[in-house]
Amino acid sequence: MRQDPFSRQSDPRRRSRRGGGLRLWILLLFAGYGVYYYFSNQVEDPVTGQKVLIDRSLSADDEKALGLEAYQQILQQERPVDPSLPIAREVQSIADRLIAKVDVVEAALAAEHGMQPTRFSQSFDWEVSVIESDQANAFCLPGGKMAVYTGLVPVAQNEDAMAVVMGHEIAHALLRHGAQRMAQQRLSQVGQMAGAMSGMDPQQQQMVMAAMGYGYLLPYARKHETEADEVGLMLAAAACFDPREAVPLWERMGEASGGQAQPEFSSTHPNPGTRIQNLQSMMPRALEYRERFCEQAM
Ligand SMILES: [Zn+2]
């Protein structure tokens, strides 16, 4: 007897097979978009010589506007100290010295990769605030808005170490790590949507996202930290600070956090031992940068 088309559709085995085909197509479509997005937004960064993922539709001005918005929000929520206080003036002077060396250091690092610098930071409106807080933290947002938290002062202990931290933060902005994170988030959103639309159950989706976090996003974040350490160290050295202070600084930072994650210096940061080893291996080059670019004699 010929089967009635409706009864055929109600056969659960059959339905799941058809659903499976559609699911595969949806996944392929999203995967195709993900691959397209990934490859069409690769930019070579002259400073690191690395290919990175940055959304081409995100302009320097967009990035700056996002940074400014976040900065204003933070300043409204926190307590910035009076800019005439000695601590604020000291932080300002460290920032000025570092910023003055951004162009030469960028050009020197780009030249090491046989490239021209992008001069991306020329559109930055640099500004630094000191925020009253127990946190040993600092940041520099896209567009050049920076802050140092007073909790960092006792950990830094001296201006060389403070310059190492601030150089690290400036490097994040110069290397457009925020924009890279945004592009990665977009990719994970594509992945999440694909998972949801293809009918993956939430548990499966979570497993896939966790695998992506550990396999892709976390190593990426650690790589950013190492890059920021390197560029920041060269910047501090070129601005006549002593880069060797970086090693005891990160040791103190490890103790200060007592194994507990601080907002910026959190789990994304490489483990302290590896970080110190990396810094030590960068030291000869940092000292060379100091000799080359610091006008005062060593
Ligand atoms: Zn960092």
**Span 142-183, pLDDT tens digits:** 999 999 999 999 999 999 999 999 999 999 999 999 888 888
Which residue, among 249, 248, 241, 247, has the nearest Cα to 283 in the 3D structure?
Answer: 247
Q: Report the separation in Å between the CA atom of 57 and the middle of ligand 1, taken as the mean of its atom positions.
A: 25
Confidence bin at 99 (pLDDT 50/70/90)? very high
Please enumerate in sequence order all residues whose Cβ is within 8 A of that of 246, keeping only pairs 6 or more positions apart, or say none.
161, 164, 229, 233, 236, 279, 286
Per-residue pLDDT tens digits for 47-86 = 888 888 888 888 888 889 989 999 999 999 998 999 999 9
Per-residue b/e over 127-165, b at no fewer than 16 CB within 10 Å? bbbbbebeebbbbbbbbbbbbbbbbbeebbeebbbbbbb
Residue 171: enclosing H or E segment and its boundaries?
A: helix 159-174
* Model pLDDT, residue 215: 67
Higher pLDDT, residue 273 or 151: 151
Which are the catalytic amino acids?
A: 169
Per-residue pLDDT tens digits for 202-252 = 787 777 777 766 666 777 788 899 999 999 999 999 999 999 999 999 989
**């204003």: which residue's tokens?**
72
Question: Strands, DSSP E only, in 123-227?
Answer: 127-131, 138-140, 145-149
Confidence bin at 90 (pLDDT 50/70/90)? very high
Structure-block tokens of residue 150: 């007073």
Q: Report the separation in Å between the CA atom of 170 and the middle of ligand 1, taken as the mean of its atom positions.
A: 9
- Residue 297 — φ and ψ, nearest 5°? -70, 150
* Model pLDDT, residue 6: 42
* Model pLDDT, residue 4: 46
Which residue, among 259, 188, 180, has the nearest Cα to 220 in the 3D structure?
Answer: 180
- Range with lowest mean pLDDT among 38-47, 107-116, 159-168, 255-264: 255-264
Question: What count of residues does the chain have?
Answer: 298
Task: Domain ranges for the chain, please list them.
Answer: 50-180+220-293
Higher pLDDT, residue 16 or 113: 113
Higher pLDDT, residue 102 or 33: 102
Kindly list the protein residues that place their beta carbon closer than 5 angstroms to ligand 1, a single-atom ion.
Answer: 225, 228
Taking the C-alpha atoms of residue 24 and residue 26, their distance in angstroms, rounded to an integer, is 5
Could you tell me what percent of the chain has a pLDDT over 90? 47
- Average model confidence (pLDDT) across the chain: 84
* Model pLDDT, residue 113: 87
Q: Report the separation in Å between the CA atom of 131 and the middle of ligand 1, taken as the mean of its atom positions.
A: 18
* Model pLDDT, residue 209: 73
Q: Report the separation in Å between the CA atom of 224 and the middle of ligand 1, taken as the mean of its atom positions.
A: 7
